[in-house]
Structure 1
Amino acid sequence: MPEFVPLAERIVDALLESDPATASHAGDHRFDDRLPDLSPAAVTTRIAMLRDAGDALSGVDTDGLGAQEQVDHAILAARVERELFELTEVREHEWNPLEHNPGPLLHGLIARGFAPVGERLESLAGRLAAIPDALATARALLRDVPRIHAETAAGQFAGTAALIRDEVPALLAQAPGMRAVVEPAAAGALAALGEFDGWLSRLLDSGEPGRDPRLGRRLWEARLWHTLDTELSAAEVLSRARDNLERVSEELRAAAAELVGGPAADETVRRALDSIAEQHPDNTTIVGLAKATMDEATEFVRRHDIVSLVDDPCVIEEMPEFARGVAVAYCDPPGPLETADVPTFYCIAPAPADWPAERIASFYREYNNEMLRNLTVHEAMPGHFLQIAHSRRFNAGSHGPSAAGKPSATRVRALGWSGPFVEGWAVYAEELMTGLGFGGLPVRLQQLKMQLRMSLNAIIDQLTHCDELPEAEAMALMTGRGFQEEGEAAGKWRRALLTSTQLSTYFVGYTEVAAIAAARPFGATPRAWHDAMLAHGSPPPRHLRTLLGV
Structure 2
Amino acid sequence: MTRQFLLVPALLVVASTAPAGTPAMAPAKAAFARFKSEFIEAYWKQNPESAVAVGYYKYADRLPVPDAAERRRSLGFGDLWLRKAKAFDEASLDVQDRVDLRLIRNELESERWAATVFRGHQWDPSSYNVAGTFGLLLGTEYAPLDARLRVVGKRLPRVPAYYAAAKAALKDPTLEHTQLAILQNKGALGVFGADFLKQVEGSTLTSAEKARLKADAARAQAAIQDYITHLEGLEMRLRASGWRSFRIGKKLFETSFEYSIQAGCTAEELHRRALAEKEKLHGRMAELALQLWPKYFGTEPAPADRLDLIGRMVERLSQTHVSAEGFVAEVKRQIPLLESWVREHDLVNQDPTRPLVVRETPEYMRGVAGASVSAPGPYDPKANTYYNVTPLEGTAAQKESYLREYNEYILQVLNIHEAIPGHYVQLLHANQSPSLVKAVFGNGAMVEGWAVYAERMMLESGYGGNTPEMWLMYSKWNLRVVCNAILDYGVHVEGMGEAQAMRLLTREAFQQDSEAREKWHRAQVTSVQLSSYFAGYSAIYDLRERLKAQQGRDFDLKRFHEQFLSYGSAPVKVIRELMLPKVN
Please report how far the alpha carbon of residue 106 of structure 1 lies from its aligned counterpart in structure 2 after TM superposition. 1.4
- Which residue does 1:230 correspond to in 2? 263
Q: For 1:273 and 1:35, how far apart are their aligned partners in 2? A: 49
Aligned counterpart for 1:324 among listed residues 339, 346, 366: 366
- Which residue does 2:472 correspond to in 1? 445
Q: Does 1:542 align with 2:584?
A: no
Please report how far the alpha carbon of residue 27 of structure 1 lies from its aligned counterpart in structure 2 after TM superposition. 1.4
Q: Does 1:275 align with 2:302?
A: no
Aligned counterpart for 1:292 among listed residues 333, 337, 341: 333
Aligned counterpart for 2:516 among listed residues 464, 467, 489: 489
- Which residue does 1:401 correspond to in 2? none
- Which residue does 2:380 correspond to in 1? 338
Instruction: Classify 1:301/1:151 alpha carbon distance in 2 versus 1 (closer, same or farther; 3 Å).
Output: same
Q: Does 1:434 align with 2:462?
A: no
Please report how far the alpha carbon of residue 244 of structure 1 lies from its aligned counterpart in structure 2 after TM superposition. 0.8
Contact preservation (8 Å) 2:413, 2:474: yes
Please report how far the alpha carbon of residue 93 of structure 1 lies from its aligned counterpart in structure 2 after TM superposition. 1.4
Matches within 5 A, 1:97-116: 97-116=125-144
Aligned counterpart for 2:54 among listed residues 20, 26, 34: 26
Q: For 2:60 and 2:126, how far apart are their aligned partners in 1? A: 20
Contact preservation (8 Å) 1:374, 1:446: no
Q: Does 1:384 align with 2:447?
A: no
Amino acid at match of 1:373: Q
Instruction: Classify 1:44/1:304 alpha carbon distance in 2 versus 1 (closer, same or farther; 3 Å).
Output: same
Q: For 1:192 and 1:226, how far apart are their aligned partners in 2? A: 34
Amino acid at match of 2:135: H
- Which residue does 2:159 correspond to in 1? 131
- Which residue does 1:397 correspond to in 2? none
Q: For 2:292 and 2:137, how far apart are their aligned partners in 1? A: 48
Contact preservation (8 Å) 2:65, 2:161: no
Q: For 2:280 and 2:257, how far apart are their aligned partners in 1? A: 24
Unaligned regions of 5+ residues in structure 1, if any?
Answer: 395-406
Q: Does 1:213 align with 2:246?
A: yes
Contact preservation (8 Å) 1:282, 1:364: yes
Please report how far the alpha carbon of residue 263 of structure 1 lies from its aligned counterpart in structure 2 after TM superposition. 7.1
Aligned counterpart for 1:51 among listed residues 79, 93, 100: 79
- Which residue does 1:84 correspond to in 2? 112
Please report how far the alpha carbon of residue 127 of structure 1 lies from its aligned counterpart in structure 2 after TM superposition. 2.8
Q: Deviations over 1:158-187 (max 9, x none)?
A: 111022213212322431425234212211
Q: Does 1:193 align with 2:224?
A: yes
Q: For 2:216 and 2:264, how far apart are their aligned partners in 1? A: 48
- Which residue does 1:154 correspond to in 2? 182
Secondary structure of 2:493 counterpart: helix
Q: Does 1:307 align with 2:336?
A: no
Q: Does 1:418 align with 2:443?
A: yes
Tell me whether 427-436 or 360-369 shows the greater mean CA deviation: 360-369
Amino acid at match of 1:279: T
Query: Identity across aligned pairs (percent)?
Result: 30
Please report how far the alpha carbon of residue 327 of structure 1 lies from its aligned counterpart in structure 2 after TM superposition. 0.8
Amino acid at match of 2:543: I
Q: For 1:209 and 1:337, how far apart are their aligned partners in 2? A: 46
Amino acid at match of 1:101: N
Please report how far the alpha carbon of residue 82 of structure 1 lies from its aligned counterpart in structure 2 after TM superposition. 0.9
Aligned length: 533
Q: For 2:47 and 2:320, how far apart are their aligned partners in 1? A: 45
Secondary structure of 1:331 counterpart: strand
Q: For 2:569 and 2:292, how far apart are their aligned partners in 1? A: 37
Structure 1 segments of 4+ aligned residues over 6 angstroms from their partners:
none
Q: Deviations over 1:198-248 (max 9, x none)?
A: 111111222244211111111111111111112201221111010111111
Tell me whether 172-181 or 224-233 shows the greater mean CA deviation: 172-181
The alignment's TM-score, normalised by the length of structure 2, stands at 0.88
Amino acid at match of 1:143: K
Contact preservation (8 Å) 2:324, 2:399: no
The alignment's TM-score, normalised by the length of structure 1, stands at 0.93
Please report how far the alpha carbon of residue 443 of structure 1 lies from its aligned counterpart in structure 2 after TM superposition. 3.5
Secondary structure of 1:332 counterpart: strand
Contact preservation (8 Å) 1:337, 1:414: no
Q: For 2:60 and 2:475, how far apart are their aligned partners in 1? A: 42
Instruction: Classify 1:459/1:173 alpha carbon distance in 2 versus 1 (closer, same or farther; 3 Å).
Output: same
Please report how far the alpha carbon of residue 36 of structure 1 lies from its aligned counterpart in structure 2 after TM superposition. 3.5
Secondary structure of 2:62 counterpart: coil
Q: For 1:98 and 1:36, how far apart are their aligned partners in 2? A: 17
Amino acid at match of 2:390: A
Amino acid at match of 1:270: G
Q: For 1:258 and 1:317, how far apart are their aligned partners in 2? A: 39
Contact preservation (8 Å) 2:405, 2:511: yes
Q: Deviations over 1:431-471 (max 9, x none)?
A: 11112222233433332112111111111111211121111
Please report how far the alpha carbon of residue 478 of structure 1 lies from its aligned counterpart in structure 2 after TM superposition. 0.7
Q: Does 1:365 align with 2:404?
A: yes
Amino acid at match of 1:160: A
Unaligned regions of 5+ residues in structure 2, if any?
Answer: 1-26, 295-301
Tell me whether 264-273 or 198-207 shows the greater mean CA deviation: 264-273
Contact preservation (8 Å) 1:362, 1:487: yes
Instruction: Classify 1:119/1:260 alpha carbon distance in 2 versus 1 (closer, same or farther; 3 Å).
Output: farther
Please report how far the alpha carbon of residue 371 of structure 1 lies from its aligned counterpart in structure 2 after TM superposition. 1.3
Q: Deviations over 1:410-451 (max 9, x none)?
A: x32232111111111100000111122222334333321121
Tell me whether 235-244 or 519-528 shows the greater mean CA deviation: 519-528
Please report how far the alpha carbon of residue 155 of structure 1 lies from its aligned counterpart in structure 2 after TM superposition. 1.1
Contact preservation (8 Å) 1:270, 1:483: yes
Q: Does 1:183 align with 2:250?
A: no
Q: For 2:165 and 2:470, how far apart are their aligned partners in 1? A: 48
Instruction: Classify 1:126/1:313 alpha carbon distance in 2 versus 1 (closer, same or farther; 3 Å).
Output: farther
Instruction: Classify 1:310/1:209 alpha carbon distance in 2 versus 1 (closer, same or farther; 3 Å).
Output: farther
Contact preservation (8 Å) 1:293, 1:372: no
Q: For 2:34 and 2:471, how far apart are their aligned partners in 1? A: 49
Instruction: Classify 1:143/1:351 alpha carbon distance in 2 versus 1 (closer, same or farther; 3 Å).
Output: farther
Contact preservation (8 Å) 2:402, 2:514: yes
Q: Deviations over 1:364-418 (max 9, x none)?
A: 1112232111101000100000010011011xxxxxxxxxxxx33xx32232111
Contact preservation (8 Å) 1:479, 1:485: yes
Q: Does 1:526 align with 2:557?
A: yes
